[in-house]
Amino acid sequence: MTNFETIIGPAYLVAAVLFILGLKRLSSPATARSGNRLAGIAMTIALAVTLLNPDILGAITGARLIPIGTIVIGTLIGGGIGVYFARTVKMTAMPQMVALFNGMGGATAALVSIAEFTRAIGETGDAGGAGQVVSIVLGTIIGAISFSGSIVAFLKLQELITDRPLRFGGQSWFNAALLLGSLAVGGIVLVGGSVPALWAVLGIALLLGVTGVLPIGGADMPVVISILNSCTGVAAALTGFVVHNQILVVAGALVGASGTLLTLLMSKAMNRPISNVLFSGFGALQTGGNGKGAGVVRIVKEASAEDVGVALAFARNVVIVPGYGLAVAQAQHTVRELADELEKHGVSVKYAIHPVAGRMPGHMNVLLAEANVPYDQLAEMEQINGEFDNTDVALVIGANDVVNPAARSDTSSPIYGMPILDVDHSRNVVVLKRSMNPGFAGIDNELFYRDNTRMLFGDAKASLTKLVAAVKTV
C-alpha cells in the first residue's frame, strides 16, 4: 500500500491557507460570499484527503464495510439533515439555526475526544502523554458545554422554553462548582486513566452548559451563541491534538480566535459588556420577572462610521432626514457629497423634508438647494411617509422631535399629535447626533432605543465627512 503522507500533509497546508483567505474575504461585504465558498473548498480538500488516512484507506481497500458505512452513511444522513434545515429555515430564525449547528459541532468534538481515549485505553492501557490526556479532558468539557449550551440557546430563541432569564439563588457559585468539579474529575482521568471518569466529566460539563445559559435572557442569545461558537472552535482544535491532526488545530484555533473577537465586537455593537451578558444574574434579580416597565435600563446602540458607511452602501434605498443639527453644522454640502457617493454605488437616495425641519418652514429645502441637491430628490412629509416601510436605511441627521414616535402614540407627550416622519417604519435607522441630549421640546425620544436604530455621535459635518470616506472605501 502506498504511503499517502506526502499528499495529505501538503493538502492540509493548502486547506489551512484557504481557510485563512476565506475568513479574510468574509470580513468585507463585497467579497464575503466568495470567502464562504473558499472556506467550503478548503473544507472539501481537508475532508477528501482524510480518506487517504491509513486507517480509513485500509478499510476501503480491505472492504471493511463498517468503517466505510459509518463514514459514508453518517455523512449522507448528517449532511442531508444539515442542508435541508439550512435551505428551509426562515431568515428570521437564522440565529437559532446557527446555535443548533454549533451544538452539533461541540458534541462531535466531545465524542471524538471520548472515543479516542476509550480506544487508546482499551487497546494499550495508555492514552499517551499528559498533553494528550489534558487535550482529551478539555476537549470533552468545552465540547459538551458548547453542545448543551447551544441547545438551550436554540430552545430559547425558538421559544420552546421561556426566553426570560431563569435564575436561582447561588447560581454563579453552583456553576463555578460545576466547572471546578469537571476539572477535578478530569484530574482523575489524567492520573488514573479511567474511562468512566471521563464520562462523568462529560455529564458535569453538559449540566454546566445548561445552567450556564439558562440565566441569560433571549435578547443576549446572539452574544452567547458567538461565545459558544468560539468554544466549539477551541474544542475542535483540542480534538486536533487528540487525533494528531494539524488542520484541525489550525481551523479550530482560527475559529476560536475570530469567534472571540467577534463576540467582543458584537457585544460592543449591542452595547452589552460581556460580563453583563454572562453574569447579569447578580444584579438583575429584582427586575428579572417583568420584561418591560420601570427600572429597565434603556440602551442605545452606538455604531462606527465604517459600519454605517457599509450599511448605506449596500442598501437599495436610503432616505436622508435632515434636521436642525445639519443646518447648524453647515453640513449640507457634505450630505450632498455623501448622496453622490451612494448613487455611485447604485443606491437610490431621497431626502425627507419635515415641514419644520431647520429653523423655519422651507429652510431645509433652501439649504439643500444651495448645495445643488436635485429638486426631485426632495420629498415632502406626506409623500415620503408611505415609503418608509420599503426603506432600507433612514439616515437621520441632527433631527429629533420630528422623528419622535411618541408624537403618534403617547398621549401624555407634549408633542403628541404633531405630524412626524415615520422613520421608525424603515428597516434600519441611523441617527447622527451630537449627544444624547433631548431635542428642542426637551423630551426623550424612544426611537433612539429601538432595536433597529444605531447612533453615530458627533458633529454632523464631521460624522458625514467620515461617512463619505467610509462609503468610498467600500
Partner 1 sequence: MSQEVLLGAYVFILAIFVGFEVIARVPSILHTPLMSATNAIHGIVLLGAMLIAGAAKTPFMQAIAFVAVILGAANVFGGFVVTDRMLEMFKKKAAPPVEKPE
Cβ burial, residue 73 (10 Å; 0-12/13-18/19+): exposed
Chain centroid to CA 217: 16
> Please, which residue, 4 or 314, has the CB nearer to partner 1?
314
String of contacts with partner 1 for each residue 392-411, x by CB under 8 A: x-------------------
Verify binding: residue 344, partner 1, rule CB under 8 A. no
Verify binding: residue 115, partner 1, rule CB under 8 A. yes
CB under 8 A: which stretch of 130-138, 272-280, 351-359, 377-385 binds partner 1?
A: 130-138
Of the candidates 100, 4, 101, the one whose C-alpha atom is nearest the C-alpha of residue 58 is 4
Query: Which of 175, 182, 211, 229: binder of partner 1 (CB under 8 A)?
Result: 229
Query: Which of 14, 53, 438, 441: binder of partner 1 (CB under 8 A)?
Result: 53
User: Which alpha helices (H) appear in 214-331, and where do they start and end?
Assistant: 221-242, 246-269, 274-279, 305-313, 324-328
The residue whose grid cell reads 442531508 is 80
Question: Cβ(340)–Cβ(382) under 8 Å?
Answer: no
Q: Which helix H or strand E contains 148, and what residues bound it?
A: helix 130-157
Verify binding: residue 246, partner 1, rule CB under 8 A. yes
Which residues in 362-418 belong to E strands, given as ranges?
378-380, 393-397
Q: Which of 163, 220, 401, 424 is catalytic?
A: 401
Report phi then psi at 192, rounded to 5. Answer: -95, -10
CB under 8 A: which stretch of 92-100, 168-176, 330-338, 380-388 binds partner 1?
A: 92-100
Query: Which of 9, 62, 85, 409: binder of partner 1 (CB under 8 A)?
Result: 85
Query: Which of 138, 189, 225, 329: binder of partner 1 (CB under 8 A)?
Result: 225
Query: Which of 11, 190, 205, 248: binder of partner 1 (CB under 8 A)?
Result: 248
Q: How far is the C-alpha of 160 from the C-alpha of 166, rounded, in Å?
A: 14
Verify binding: residue 125, partner 1, rule CB under 8 A. no
> Please, which residue, 174 or 314, has the CB nearer to partner 1?
314
**Which residues ranging from 353 to 392 are in contact with partner 1 (CB under 8 A)?**
392
Verify binding: residue 441, partner 1, rule CB under 8 A. no
Verify binding: residue 133, partner 1, rule CB under 8 A. no
> Please, which residue, 237 or 415, has the CB nearer to partner 1?
237
> Please, which residue, 119 or 359, has the CB nearer to partner 1?
119
Size, binding site for partner 1 by CB under 8 A: 130
Helix (H, G, I), strand (E, B) or coil at 119: helix
| 292: Cβ contacts below 8 Å, ≥ 6 apart | none
Chain centroid to CA 131: 33
Of the candidates 36, 43, 99, the one whose C-alpha atom is nearest the C-alpha of residue 231 is 99
> Please, which residue, 53 or 287, has the CB nearer to partner 1?
53
Query: Which of 140, 171, 175, 232: binder of partner 1 (CB under 8 A)?
Result: 232
Angle ∠(99,151,283) on CA atoms, nearest 5 = 90
**Which residues ranging from 291 to 320 are in contact with partner 1 (CB under 8 A)?**
303-304, 306-307, 309-311, 314-316
The residue whose grid cell reads 471518569 is 197
Q: Verify whether residue 126 is a known catalytic residue.
A: no
How far are the Cα atoms of 146, 319, 328, 405 from residue 380, in angstroms, in the given order?
52, 12, 21, 18
- Min dist CB 416 to partner 1, Å, is 26
- Min dist CB 440 to partner 1, Å, is 28
**Which residues ranging from 251 to 270 are in contact with partner 1 (CB under 8 A)?**
251-262, 265-266, 269
- Dihedral in degrees, nearest 10, Cα atoms 344, 311, 301, 159: 160
Q: How far is the C-alpha of 269 from the C-alpha of 224, rounded, in Å?
A: 14
Torsion sign, CA atoms 169, 172, 175, 177: negative
CB under 8 A: which stretch of 93-101, 182-190, 324-332, 439-447 binds partner 1?
A: 93-101
Verify binding: residue 127, partner 1, rule CB under 8 A. no
Spatial strand order in the sheet of 378-380? 378-380, 348-353, 317-322, 393-397, 428-433, 453-457
Verify binding: residue 168, partner 1, rule CB under 8 A. no
Report phi then psi at 372, rounded to 5. Answer: 60, 30
Verify binding: residue 342, partner 1, rule CB under 8 A. no
Verify binding: residue 92, partner 1, rule CB under 8 A. yes
Verify binding: residue 330, partner 1, rule CB under 8 A. no
**Which residues ranging from 134 to 153 are in contact with partner 1 (CB under 8 A)?**
135
Verify binding: residue 209, partner 1, rule CB under 8 A. no
Report phi then psi at 434, rounded to 5. Answer: -70, -40
Report phi then psi at 455, rounded to 5. Answer: -105, 140
String of contacts with partner 1 for each residue 13-32, x by CB under 8 A: ---x--xx-xxx-xxxxx-x
Verify binding: residue 132, partner 1, rule CB under 8 A. yes
Query: Which of 114, 166, 189, 349: binder of partner 1 (CB under 8 A)?
Result: 114
Catalytic residue set: 401
